[in-house]
Structure 1
Amino acid sequence: MKAAVIRGAGTLPDYADFDAPAALAGHRVIDVRACALSRVAYAKASGQHYSSTQRFPFVAGLDGAGRLDDGQRVYFCMPRAPYGALAQQCLVAESLYTPIPDTLDDVAAAALAIPGMSSWAALVERARFVAGETVLVNGATGVAGRLAVRIAKHQGAGKIIVTGRNPAMLDALCEAGADVAIALNGEPDALAAQIAPHFAAGVDVVLDYLWGASAQALLVTAARTAPEGRALRFVQIGSASGGEIALPGAALRAAPITLLGSGIGSVTMPRLLECVRAVFGAAQAAALAVETQAVPLAQIAQHWREPGSGPRTVFTIEA
Structure 2
Amino acid sequence: MGKEREESLKAAVLHMPGEAPRFEEFPEPTPEQGEVLVRVKAAPLTNLSKMRANGTPQFPVVCGVNGVGLLEDGTRVYCGGCRPPYGMMAERAIVSRSECIPVPDEIDDLTAAALPNAALASWLALVFRAQFQPGESVFILGATGVSGKLAILVARQLGAERVVAAGRNQAILATLTDLGADAVISLNQSDQTLTEMVANEAAHHPCDIILDFLWGHPAEVVMGALTRPAFQGEASRIRFVSIGEMAGSTASIPAAVLRSCGLEISGSGGGSIAREAIYDTFPQIFALAAQGKLRMDIDPVPLAEVENAWQSQDTPGRRLVFLP
Normalised by the length of structure 1, the TM-score is 0.91
Q: How does 1:63-102 map to 2 (within 5 A)?
A: 63-102=66-105
Look up the match of 1:142.
145
Letter in 2 for 1:106: D
The 5-angstrom pairing of residues 185-264 of structure 1 reads 185-200=188-203, 201-224=205-228, 228-264=234-270
Query: Percent identity over the alignment?
Result: 37
Structure 2 match to 1:309: 316
Structure 1 residue 176: deviation in Å? Answer: 2.1
CA shift digits 1:150-183 (9 cap, x unpaired): 1111111111111112233223211222111111
Cα deviation, 1:66-97, whole Å, max 9, x if unaligned, reads 01111100001232221111012222222212
Q: State the secondary structure of the residue aligned to 2:163.
A: strand
Q: Which residue of 2 aligns with 1:24?
A: 32
Q: Distance in 1 between matches of 2:315 and 2:281?
A: 23
Q: Which residue of 1 aligns with 2:294?
A: 288
**Equivalent in the alignment of 2:20:** 12
Secondary structure of the equivalent of 1:104?
coil
Whole-angstrom CA distance in 1 between matches of 2:293 and 2:250: 34
State the one-letter code of the partner of 2:47: R
1:260-283 per-residue CA deviation (whole Å, 9 max, x = no partner) reads 212222223333233332211112
Counterparts of 2:155 and 2:234 in 1: how far apart (Å)? 25
Greater Cα shift, 35-44 or 19-28? 19-28
Indicate conservation of the 8 Å contact 1:37/1:307, yes or no: no
Aligned partner of 1:228: which letter?
E
Q: How far apart, in 2, do the equivalents of 1:191 and 1:313 lie? A: 32
Alpha-carbon distance between aligned partners in 1 of 2:233 and 2:128, rounded to the nearest angstrom: 25
Tell me by how many angstroms 1:237 deviates: 1.1
Runs of 4+ aligned structure 1 residues displaced above 3 Å come to 305-308
Question: Where does residue 33 of structure 1 map in the other structure?
Answer: 41
Residue 166 in 1 paired to residue 169 in 2? yes
- For each residue in 1:12-33, what CA deviation from the matched residue of structure 2 results, as whole angstroms up to 9, or x when unmatched? 1021222222121122222111
Secondary structure in 1 matching 2:135: coil
Which sits farther off after the overlay, 192-201 or 58-67?
Answer: 192-201
Structure label with greater radius of gyration: 2
Give the counterpart letter for 2:302 in structure 1. P
Q: Return the TM-score normalized by structure 2.
A: 0.90
CA RMSD of aligned residues (A): 1.9
Say if 2:107 and 2:290, in contact at 8 Å, map to a contact too: no
Contact kept? 2:136, 2:161, Cα under 8 Å: yes
Structure 1 unaligned regions, length at least 5: none
Structure 2: distance between partners of 1:19 and 1:227: 66
1:133 to 129, 132, 136: 136
The 8 Å contact of residues 96 and 270 in structure 1, kept in 2 or not, is answered as no
Unaligned runs of 5+ residues in structure 2 are 1-8
> Given that residues 62 and 90 in structure 2 are in contact (C-alpha distance below 8 angstroms), is that contact kept between their aligned partners in structure 1?
yes
